[in-house]
Amino acid sequence: MSELNTGMKIELDDGMGTIEIIRKLGEGGQGYVYLVDYLGKQMALKWYKKGTIKDIDIFRKNLQNNIREKAPTKSFLWPIAITRIYYDTFGYIMNLRPADYYDFSDFLIGKTEFSDVRTMIDAAINIVDSFRVLHNKGFSYQDLNDGNFFLNPQTGDVLICDNDNVSQFGEKSGIAGKCRYMAPSVVVGRKTPDKRTDQFSLAVVLFLLLIRNHPLEGEQTQSKAVMTEQRQKRYYGEAPVFIADPKDASNRPVKGVHNNFITRWPQMPDYIKNAFIKSFSKEVMCDDKMPVSEKEWLQYLMRFRAEVIVCPECGKETRYTAENVPCICCRKPIAHIGWIQTPYYRIPVFPKQKFTMAHVTDCYDNNECRTPAGKVVQNKTKTKIALLNEGSEVWTSGGSTIANGERILIQKGTKIKIKNETVEIK
């Protein structure tokens, strides 16, 4: 017996106390998830099905190590404590997923959608940022796939679960990962999962998020009837071909099947397209050349995020990349106001446009992608434009200071010093 019943009491390891089973929340291949009471607080218990873990001792040791290390960021539903062994199996407790987060797979099948494109890019940034922190702490994820993510469609916030498969460099958790998300070198058994192979899986997740099609699924994977294990190994391991490979047209999209790719790919900025082309090139997939790093992804995505604005004519989102480009929706010309030029990014000035500390400093190690710096604000009569300081740094400009909550009127030539960097209005 490996299922648990309502009212059962389970003891946690290391004298952490006792949990009581309230009810079952769900079931997956590897185990069950229960709602439990822990010291008066509702939490989730992941309970492994008997026999799904090859070596319980090693698996428990890895989990205990992760519990000691604590969650890399708030975005991880991290194990908090493990239970003692019952019926030759065990489980661990973690915080519950809040109700406003949805499965990544719900977005992939069109059941849920982000409130707008900028929120979708925020979600991409949050996923990359979380993995950057995870990797910097010496962990590799090993089993990255669409079942591991929960996303908030209104805010772009991310929760990453199934962190029992996370392990520190060099340690193998014994989890091979799902074929469609695994680096080809892992599929063919040439490598074991590590930071590099995680970066491949990350590129797959980003491609799925932005394009809603698997990068290696086109004509080839579509053509013949049954996806046998042998064919899987070929398309995802031995001879993978990117759907948009500029040098190999053997796996192009099929009309009526890969419509998401056909619609969404042309809308991507060239620098995002190029990052995918590199990530899924034969050199990276088959010859183990350097993939696109998390920092590079953050730079591309932060740029993309800044370029998406709301058209003042039709109210829909469009990309603003040069002065007076027309809106992609209503085709009307958009009046140019100016650019916020940081040493690293050029951000178009539009009402409500925000920028973060990463835009100013090009640093990404301490959550700068999500740390607010400033916002473009307008007066009621829409005759004046100002920058509102939304961050904790005090800005200086022409001898005056601008603290959090204060604003500075801007015009071409205005220079503002933020954390030793100069931001200029152009």
Closest distance between Zn ion and the C-beta of residue 333, in Å?
10
Question: Considering only residues 314, 363, 388, 394, which one is a binding residue for Zn ion as defined by CB under 5 A?
Answer: 314
The answer to whether 327 contacts Zn ion (rule: CB under 5 A) is: yes
| Shortest Cβ 349–Zn ion spacing (Å) | 17
Which region, judged by CB under 5 A, interacts with Zn ion, from 4-12, 88-96, 199-207, 320-328? 320-328
Which of 115-123, 172-180, 288-296, 312-320 is the region at the interface with Zn ion (rule: CB under 5 A)?
Answer: 312-320
Q: Which two structure tokens, joined as six digits, stand for 129?
A: 């940022």
Given the rule CB under 5 A, which of 131-139, 171-179, 278-286, 321-329 is the region that contacts Zn ion?
321-329
Nearest distance in Å: CB 320, Zn ion: 11
Which range in 86-94, 128-136, 310-318, 369-377 contacts Zn ion by CB under 5 A?
310-318
* Helix (H), strand (E) at residue 167: strand 167-168
Q: Does 309 bind Zn ion (CB under 5 A)?
A: no
Stretch of 151-159, 314-322, 343-351, 405-413 lying at the interface with Zn ion (CB under 5 A): 314-322
Q: 25 vs 325, which CB is nearer to Zn ion? A: 325
329 binds Zn ion (CB under 5 A): yes
Task: Give the 3-state secondary structure of residue 364.
Answer: coil
We find the least distance from the C-beta atom of residue 351 to Zn ion, in angstroms, to be 15
Of residues 267 and 404, the one with the C-beta less far from Zn ion: 267
- Min. distance of Cβ 375 from Zn ion in angstroms? 22
The DSSP secondary structure of 53-116, one letter per residue, reads -S-HHHHHHHHHHHHHH--SSTTB----EEBPPBTTB-EEEEPPPPTT-EEHHHHHTTSS--SS
Packing angle of the helix pair 294-307, 117-136 (nearest 10 deg): 160
Report the residue number, 249 or 335, with the smaller CB distance to Zn ion: 335
Choices 1-9, 98-106, 319-327, 358-366; region in contact with Zn ion by CB under 5 A: 319-327
Shortest Å distance, C-beta 317 to Zn ion? 9
Is 280 in contact with 240 (CB distance < 8 Å)?
yes
Q: Which is nearer to Zn ion, 70 or 331 (CB)?
A: 331
How many residues in the shown chain lie near Zn ion by CB under 5 A?
Answer: 6
Binding of residue 311 to Zn ion (CB under 5 A): yes
- With vertex at residue 332, the alpha carbon angle to CA 328 and CA 210, rounded to the nearest 5 degrees, is 15
The CA–CA distances, whole Å, from 188 to 182, 192, 242, 285, 288 equal 10, 10, 17, 11, 13
Contact segment (CB under 5 A) with Zn ion among 267-275, 330-338, 358-366, 381-389 equals 330-338
Closest CA to 205 of 258, 276, 137: 276
Euclidean distance between CA atoms 199 and 191, whole angstroms:
14
Amino acid at 373: A
Q: Is 382 exposed, middle or buried (0-12, 13-18, 19+ CB in 10 A)?
A: exposed
Shortest distance in whole angstroms from residue 324 CB to Zn ion: 13
Q: In what order do the strands lie in the sheet with 91-94?
A: 9-11, 18-27, 31-38, 41-48, 91-94, 81-82
Our CB check for Zn ion shows the closer of 96 and 330 to be 330
At residue 42, φ and ψ (nearest 5 deg) are -80, 130
Shortest distance, position 354 Cβ to Zn ion, whole Å = 20
Question: C-alpha distances in angstroms, 184 versus 200, 336, 348?
Answer: 9, 46, 40
Nearest distance, CB of residue 250 and Zn ion, angstroms: 39
Site for Zn ion in 241-260 (CB under 5 A): none
Residues numbered 62-91 forming contacts with Zn ion, rule: CB under 5 A = none
Contact 34, 4 (CB under 8 A): yes
| Contact present, 193 and 140 (Cβ < 8 Å) | yes
330 binds Zn ion (CB under 5 A): yes
Please state the closest distance from residue 322 (CB atom) to Zn ion, in A. 16
CB of 381 to Zn ion, least distance (A): 23
Cβ nearer to Zn ion, comparing 176 with 314: 314
Q: Are 116 and 150 contacting, i.e. CB atoms less than 8 angstroms apart?
A: no
Distance CA 77, CA 149 (A): 10
Stretch that binds Zn ion, among 134-142, 213-221, 323-331, 364-372 (CB under 5 A): 323-331
How far are the Cα atoms of 16, 64, 93, 140, 309 from residue 57, in angstroms, in the given order? 19, 10, 18, 20, 53
Instruction: Tell me which residues touch Zn ion (CB under 5 A).
Output: 311, 313-314, 327, 329-330
